[in-house]
Amino acid sequence: MPDHRPTPAQLDAADPLAALRDEFELPDGIYLVGNSLGALPKAARDYVNTEFDRWSTLGVEGHFTGDLAWKDYHELVTGQFAALTGALPDEVVAMNSLTVNLHLLMVSFYQPTAARHKILIEGHAFPSDHFAVESQIRQRGFDPSDSLILLEPRSGEQTLRLEDTLAAIADHGDELALVFLPGVQYYTGQVLAMHEITTAGHAVGAIVGFDLAHAVGNLELSLHDWDVDFAAWCTYKYLNSGPGGVAGAFVHQRHVTDQRLPKLHGWWGTNKTSRFEMATDFDAIPTVESWQLSNAPVLLMASLRASLDIFDKAGGMGPLRRKTEQQIEFFDRRLKESLGDRVENITPKALAERGCQFALRVTNDDGRRVFEALENARVRCDWRHPDVIRVAAVPLYNSFDDIDRFVDILDGIVR
């Protein structure tokens, strides 16, 4: 029986976002590792060179001159951050790095007491998150062996069940100070039910925060409406800001103006109109900007702006998510047809629990050998210990043809 399903070429020809690929400079081969480092937006060179030119001609006056004045430069991405995260403009800010932001936010939102001092995280949390949480517990005079709750999948399973997560929150409710989980699990690619988790955490009196490193630019988010307390993310993955790019932070509006919250203060968090009067009384900006410590890393933010403008051209996360769902369906079919049970995808099957990333295990071969063979074939992906090959078809620049060729190459290697 003839196969009437569209070919990769036909899918690419029908893709309304296909032209966005031309906005990026892609390495030779097949680039499927945007979950680790996004591709270079072509415009980033111009955006950054503009700031070099302003530096060379204006010097220090660049801080105060024109629409690109450096003292307010972070504000240029505020509206785009708000759109990508489902937040209000007063709730988001670009600043620092991801882990620095997590520490700053936990200073405010982890307030343990003798009765309520525990933090719930996942057992396979990204190491930086685990380290940050443990150190926050110790800084408050508690012991991680008593105050840290690790959420694990069931025996023989790879991903977390929502009912188990909600049960753990309920079981520890009276002693739970903070629920801190990823929006997307970095290893398996599982998307967690952030709204349901937030509601459950609040029901027992806990604060709820998320690491959105693998979620922003990958999923449609509604942080404000979901009532999330705080979140932080990096921008060098799906937001394509470049290695070590500036990070982002979210604090819900109801907390933003709460002056009772403890906070680490810095010059850039104080009232903008009086900042340069050099007063030493901290007068908090009535937005999430009050969590800022220092002025913006302008060159890093310039490359981020280049990428965020491409998201605007895409029409936001709605069209990108629709393409991701099409690519997931196509990727699943190609893996099943060509590789059968020789490769296992440990990412959940349910579409609501999936983003761009596929977490693949080779079932009848040495996974590390297969990964190295992919690299030698100029397929850019990454390896996560002990046995997962991560690949991500990013809708901004990856085509259906990229997926098709990847599966053919993988098939040849494991065959």
For residue 405, give the CATH number of its domain: 3.90.1150.10
Residue 3 has pLDDT above 90, yes or no: no
pTM, two decimal places: 0.97
pLDDT band at 162 (very low <50, low <70, confident <90, very high): very high
In a domain, 44, yes or no: no
Q: Which residues pair with 119 in a beta bridge?
A: 148, 178
Q: Which of residues 280, 312, 344 is at a domain's end?
A: 312
Phi then psi for residue 207, to 5 deg, are -80, 150
Q: What is the pLDDT of residue 364?
A: 85
Average pLDDT value for the chain: 97
Structure token pair of residue 173: 């409710």
Q: The domain that contains 77 carries what CATH number? A: 3.40.640.10
pLDDT band at 365 (very low <50, low <70, confident <90, very high): confident
Q: Among candidates 218, 215, 184, 188, which has minimal Cα distance to 323?
A: 218
The DSSP result for 237-261, as a single string, is STT---TT---EEEE-HHHHT-TTS
Same domain, 16 and 85: no
How confident is the model over 154-183, as a mean pLDDT?
A: 97
pLDDT band at 201 (very low <50, low <70, confident <90, very high): very high
Same domain, 373 and 362: yes
Same domain, 81 and 69: yes
In a domain, 47, yes or no: no
- 8 A C-beta contact, residue 42 and residue 392: no
How confident is the model over 133-160, as a mean pLDDT?
A: 97
pLDDT band at 222 (very low <50, low <70, confident <90, very high): very high
Q: What is the pLDDT of residue 2?
A: 62
Structure token pair of residue 320: 């990108």
The span from the CA of 220 to the CA of 85, in Å, is 7
Place of tokens 């690299």: 375
Same domain, 376 and 305: no
Which residue type, as a one-letter code, is found at position 6?
Answer: P
Which DSSP letter does residue 371 get? Answer: H
- 8 A C-beta contact, residue 46 and residue 38: no
pLDDT band at 259 (very low <50, low <70, confident <90, very high): confident
Share of the chain above pLDDT 70, in %: 100
Residue 1 has pLDDT above 60, yes or no: no
Q: What is the rounded (10 degree) CA torsion for 321, 167, 163, 143?
A: 50
Residue 62 has pLDDT above 90, yes or no: yes
Same domain, 409 and 279: no
Same domain, 300 and 374: no
Q: What is the pLDDT of residue 385?
A: 94
In a domain, 3, yes or no: no
Q: What pLDDT, in 10s, does the model give residues 343-354?
A: 999 999 999 999
Same domain, 66 and 15: no
In a domain, 45, yes or no: no
Q: Which of residues 312, 338, 371 is at a domain's end?
A: 312
Same domain, 135 and 236: yes
Same domain, 189 and 330: no
Count of CB atoms situated within 10 Å of the CB of 185: 26
Q: Which domain holds residue 344?
A: 8-31+315-414
Same domain, 101 and 19: no
Q: What is the pLDDT of residue 110?
A: 98
Strands 207-211 and 176-182: parallel
Residue 126 has pLDDT above 90, yes or no: yes
Same domain, 207 and 342: no
In a domain, 57, yes or no: yes
How confident is the model over 220-224, as a mean pLDDT?
A: 98
How many domains is the chain built from?
A: 2
